[in-house]
Amino acid sequence: MIASSRCRSRAFGADGRQARRDELAVAISIAFWQLEVAARILGVSHTALDRWTKTGDLPLLYSAAGRVEMPVPALLDLYESVEADRADGDRRYVLAPTMVRHREAAQSLDLQRFQQDTERSNHERARARSLAYHPAVARRLRKSMVDEARHVLFRWRDQGRIDERYADRWEQLLNQPLPEIRRALVDESQEYDDLRQNSPFAGLLSESERRRIVREAI
pLDDT digits (tens, 9 = 90+) for 47-100: 888 888 888 888 877 766 777 778 777 788 888 888 888 888 766 788 999 999
Other Cβ atoms within 10 Å of 215 Cβ, number: 10
Please give the mean pLDDT across all residues of the chain.
80
Q: Do residue 42 and residue 62 come from a single domain?
A: yes
193 near 127, Cβ under 8 Å? Answer: yes
pLDDT given for residue 77 in this prediction: 81
My answer on whether 135 and 76 are in the same domain is: no
CATH of the domain at 24: 1.10.1660
Is residue 124 located within the same domain as residue 98?
A: no
**Which strands sit side by side in the sheet containing 68-71, from one edge to the other?**
32-34, 68-71, 61-62
Whether residues 99 and 120 share a domain: the answer is no
The pLDDT score that the predictor gives to residue 100 is 92
* Residue 116 and residue 102 share a domain: no
The verdict on 103 and 7 lying in the same domain is yes
- Which residue type, as a one-letter code, is found at position 121? S
Boundary (domain end) residue, out of 41, 73, 107: 107
Look at residues 42, 74, 107 and tell me which one is the last residue of a structural domain.
107
Three-state DSSP class for 188?
coil
User: What is the total count of domains within the chain?
Assistant: 2
**Residues 93 and 125 grouped into a single domain:** no
Q: Which residues of the chain have pLDDT under 50?
A: 1-16, 27-29
- Domain boundary (87, 107, 127) is at 107
What residue numbers bound the domain in which 38 lies? 3-107
One domain for residues 10 and 45: yes
Same domain flag for 120 and 210: yes
CB 185 within 8 A of CB 201: yes
- List the one residue out of 146, 57, 145 whose CA is nearest residue 95: 57
- Angle ∠(76,213,147) on CA atoms, nearest 5: 30
For residue 179, the model assigns a pLDDT of 96
Q: Domain check: are 90 and 118 in the same one? A: no
Same domain for 130 and 78: no
Cα 185 to Cα 140: distance, rounded to the nearest angstrom: 12
CA 195 to CA 193: how far, in whole Å? 5
Q: How far apart are CA 205 and CA 61, in angstroms?
A: 16
Residue 169 to residue 98: CA distance in whole angstroms: 34
Cβ 39 vs Cβ 130: under 8 Å:
no
Tell me, yes or no, whether 90 and 148 share the same domain: no
Estimate the share of the chain in helix, then strand, then coil, as percent rounded to the nearest 5: 65, 5, 30
- Tell me how far apart the terminal alpha carbons of the chain are, to the nearest angstrom: 28
